[in-house]
Amino acid sequence: MPTVHAIPAFSDNYIWALIPDNENRVVIVDPGDAAPVQSFLAARGLDLGAILITHHHPDHTGGIGALTAEYDVPVYGPARERQAIAGLTARLADGDQIDIDWLGCRFDVIDVPGHTIGHIALVGGGMLFSGDTLFHGGCGKLFEGSAGQMRASLERLRALPDDTSIYCGHEYTLKNLQFAAAVEPENADIAARIEQVQALRDRQQPSLPSIIGLEKRVNPFMRWDVPDIRRAARERHGSDLDGPDAVFAVLRQWKDDF
Ligand code: ZN
Ligand code: FE
């Protein structure tokens, strides 16, 4: 299995670097900016071998041009985005696989519409690269898709094995967990995780990766069917809610206003 390194970018993005054993090539996920990737490669004497993209937003794609000008590498990304992504060499959608022979693991592509319409997630080797769909403690804003689409996308990610490691696009964890605690004041797992993450962030460490099993306990957007969450959403809304998508929509709007 490759080892995974976080390359911080902008104020709160993570660009992920996958380094296989006995290789000097790296796979880079969501290079929103080329400069931190170039510094990372130079500092370690590594070459760029491939780029993976989860969705079209500039803070995930902005570095493609400069990196591919320097390195002639394949760029795998979503087929179904509304906005074209310049520089893609392979367009992927649900059911496709990414098979980079030197990497040591394969990725399955899952369509996860919601944040954007064509957003994909990559699953392989016990890892999930979730872009701006699933965050630690939260989920992406609904820029293009509906609450129902996002909930269905998260339902697919929730079905992954509990020990799947989650590498997402942003360090939003503390704010997400503060919202989670407001929704579920009695949830001791959330309170405990806030303390752990605060300690990590005090030392400038990423709060990631998370794992699916933890998200199922602390992330309100993975818990639309838990009675406490349904009750909190109904109270927020002021009247009964008609099904899981309605609960999810209230949670998402509540977070936007938080
Ligand atoms: Zn985004
Ligand atoms: Fe982003």
Tell me how far apart the alpha carbons of residues 82 and 94 are, in angstroms, rounded to a whole number. 16
Positions marked active-site? 55, 57, 59-60, 115, 132, 170
CA of 19 to the centre of ligand 2 (A): 23
Tell me which residue of 193, 144, 133, 201 sits closest to 167, measured CA to CA.
133
- The structure's pTM equals 0.98
CA of 240 to the centre of ligand 1 (A): 32
* Percent of all residues in the chain with a pLDDT value above 70, rounded to a whole number: 100
Q: What is the pLDDT of residue 52?
A: 98
* Percent of all residues in the chain with a pLDDT value above 90, rounded to a whole number: 100
Ligand index nearest the alpha carbon of residue 12: 2
Pairing of strands 127-131, 165-168: parallel
Q: How many residues does the chain have?
A: 258
CA of 63 to the centre of ligand 2 (A): 13
Burial 161-183 (b: 16+ CB within 10 A, else e): eeebebbbbbbbbbbbbebbbeb
Q: What is the pLDDT of residue 74?
A: 98
Task: Please name the residue that has the structure tokens 């080329």.
Answer: 34
How far is CA 199 from each of CA 154, 168, 173, rounded to the nearest angstrom? Answer: 28, 20, 12
Secondary structure element (H or E) that encloses residue 13, with its range: strand 13-19
3-state DSSP assignment of residue 10 = coil
Tell me how far apart the alpha carbons of residues 222 and 229 are, in angstroms, rounded to a whole number. 10
How far is CA 233 from each of CA 88, 143, 155, 179, 256, rounded to the nearest angstrom? Answer: 41, 21, 18, 13, 14
Fold of the CATH domain 3-257: Metallo-beta-lactamase; Chain A (3.60.15)
CA of 31 to the centre of ligand 2 (A): 11
A 10 A CB-CB count for 1 gives: 13
Secondary structure element (H or E) that encloses residue 250, with its range: helix 244-257
Ligand index nearest the alpha carbon of residue 15: 2
Q: What is the per-residue pLDDT across 112-171, written as a single tens digit (0 to 9) for each?
A: 999 999 999 999 999 999 999 999 999 999 999 999 999 999 999 999 999 999 999 999
- Residue 51's DSSP bridge partners are 28, 75
Ligand 2 ion: Cβ-proximal residues, 5 Å cutoff: 59, 132, 169
Which band of pLDDT confidence, cut at 50, 70 and 90, is reported for residue 26? very high
Give the domain ranges of the chain: 3-257
CA of 11 to the centre of ligand 2 (A): 11
